Each structure stands twice: as C-alpha cells, then as structure tokens.
Amino acid sequence: MENTNDIIHGEEINKPITKSILLFFSHLNEIQKFIFRFFREAFTPPYELKEIIRQCYTMGYLSLGIITLTGFITGIVFTKQSRQPPADFGATSWLPSLVSLALIRALAPLITALIAAGKIGSNIGAELGSMNVTEQIEAMEVSGTNPFNFLVVSRVLAITCTMPILMTYACFVGLMGSYLNINHNEQTSFTTFIHDAFGKITFLDIFASLFKSLLYGFTIGIAGSYLGYNAKQGTVGVGKAANTAVVVSMFLIFIEEILIVQVVNSMR
C-alpha cells in the first residue's frame, strides 16, 4: 500500500516538472520559428525603408544623450580606478593604452548594449505588446499590410544597424573622459594620448567589437519583438513583455559576451 502511494505521489510530482519541460521546449520552438520568419521576411520585398530609417532615428539619435553621459562617466571612472597600479611602478604612461583596450574590447560594446536593452528593448516590447493586446496588429492584417514586416523586421534591422554606431560613439566619448582625467593629472597632450591609446589596438579588436555590437543589437531587437508581438493578458501582459524583454536581453548579452571573448582570445 505504501509503495502504491509513493508511486502515485511521485507521478503527481513529475507532472508539473514534465509540463514545465514541455512548455520550455515549446517556447524554444516558437522562438526558432519567429527568428526564421524574420530572416524570410527581411529578404522578401516589399522593404519598409522609410520605417527602418524612422526607427534608426528613434533608437539611435534619441539615445545619444544617455550614451554620452554614460560613456563619459565610464571613461573618467575607469581611468581613476586604473591609475594606482601603474602609478606604483611609475608607469602612468600606460593608462591611455589600458583604457582604450578596455573600452574597445569590452566596456563600450557591453555598456552600450545594456543601455539599449533597458531603453530600446523595453520600448519595443511595450509598443508591440500594446498594439497586440489592442488588436492593432490584427487590424493591419485585415487592411492588407504585413504587420510582421512593418513592425518586427524594421525594428530589428534598425537596432542591429544602429548599435555599432552607438558603440563607436560611446567609445570615443569614453576616451574623451579618460583624456580629461589623464590631462588633469599627468598633463599629457592630446596628440600623445591619441598615439598611446591607439598604439595597441588591432584590427581584430575593432572587428570583434563591431561584431558584438551587431549581435547585441539583433538579440535586443528579437527579444523585445518576440515578447511584444506575442503579449497577452491586456495591460498586465504589456508590462510583463517590456520587463521580460530587458531581463532576457541582458542575460543573453552576457552569455554572448562570454562566448565571443573565448573565441577572440583563441584567435590572438
């Protein structure tokens, strides 16, 4: 009798676990279909060029303020925190090279992506989620417009193309913040700073940073678009889609950062 009860109890425990596993793989299948549909629609006319340009302006130009502030502060703070170890050995002349390597290889792409995930990713999730729960997407389908191409493809392409530009801008702003700090403490000239800063940079560093920015932008766009496009439960679902888009994007960005760093380091 006890064995029978144990078997029944075990089956009751396993049911939620099995259901969760099946639900997880079901979500993976839906995400895979969503990504494949994006690539299919992205290379199929008509192309929403006006919408893509408008989204590039919204996501790129309107994000310059927070990117400028964050990049500038990052350059100053990282320089201040990195000064003491070289100073102990009388090697403060290494600071420009140290800061530029850190910014180009890791800090600029990562910080820009995290800011974009919080600002742009949440906006995509909320905007598409609101359109979905208010049946605006269905109305576009009835009117003969391809909502996936107009809403999803345009946003993913826009943020994918915009991220390398924002990353490059954040890197230069961070270097300017670093220069002001170094010039204030060591009276290093701007010409010397630029020469030292870019002396150790290789094409591999630049290529890896640009590739990471493209991948991060695509990840943020797909995550926000998928969650917003499939949002349910009214206004609660809209908030959940926006919040989940940020969390998932940041998690995937860190995973991608680890993998890319391992690959790039193996190529050095």
3-class SS string, the chain = CHHHHHHHHHHHHHHHHHHHHHHHHHHHHHHHHHHHHHHHHHCCCCCCHHHHHHHHHHHHHHHHHHHHHHHHHHHHHHHHHHCHHHHHCCCHHHHHHHHHHHHHHHHHHHHHHHHHHHHHHHHHHHHHHHHHHCCHHHHHHHCCCCHHHHHHHHHHHHHHHHHHHHHHHHHHHHHHHHHHHHHHHHCCCHHHHHHHHCCCCCHHHHHHHHHHHHHHHHHHHHHHHHHHHCCCCHHHHHHHHHHHHHHHHHHHHHHHHHHHHHHHHHHC
Q: What is the pLDDT of residue 5?
A: 54
- Could you tell me the two tokens for 191? 């010409």
**Cα–Cα distance list, 57 to 50, 83, 155, 226 (Å):** 11, 38, 11, 22
Give the per-residue pLDDT at 1.
47
Annotate 92-106 with b (16+ C-beta within 10 A) or e (fewer): beebbbbbbbbbbbb
Q: Which residues of the chain have pLDDT under 50?
A: 1-2, 7-8
- Does this model's pTM top 0.85? My answer is yes
Q: What is the pLDDT of residue 12?
A: 53
For the CA atoms of 19, 21, 23, 27, the dihedral, rounded to the nearest 10 degrees, stands at 180
Q: What are the Cα distances from residue 165, in Å, to 14, 49, 76?
A: 49, 19, 21
**Omega within 30 of 0 (cis) for the link into 46:** yes
pLDDT (0 to 100) of residue 215? 95
Give the CA radius of gyration of the chain. 23
pLDDT the model gives residue 20 = 72
Question: Which pLDDT score, from 0 to 100, does residue 177 have?
Answer: 93
- Are the beta carbons of 216 and 159 closer than 8 angstroms? no
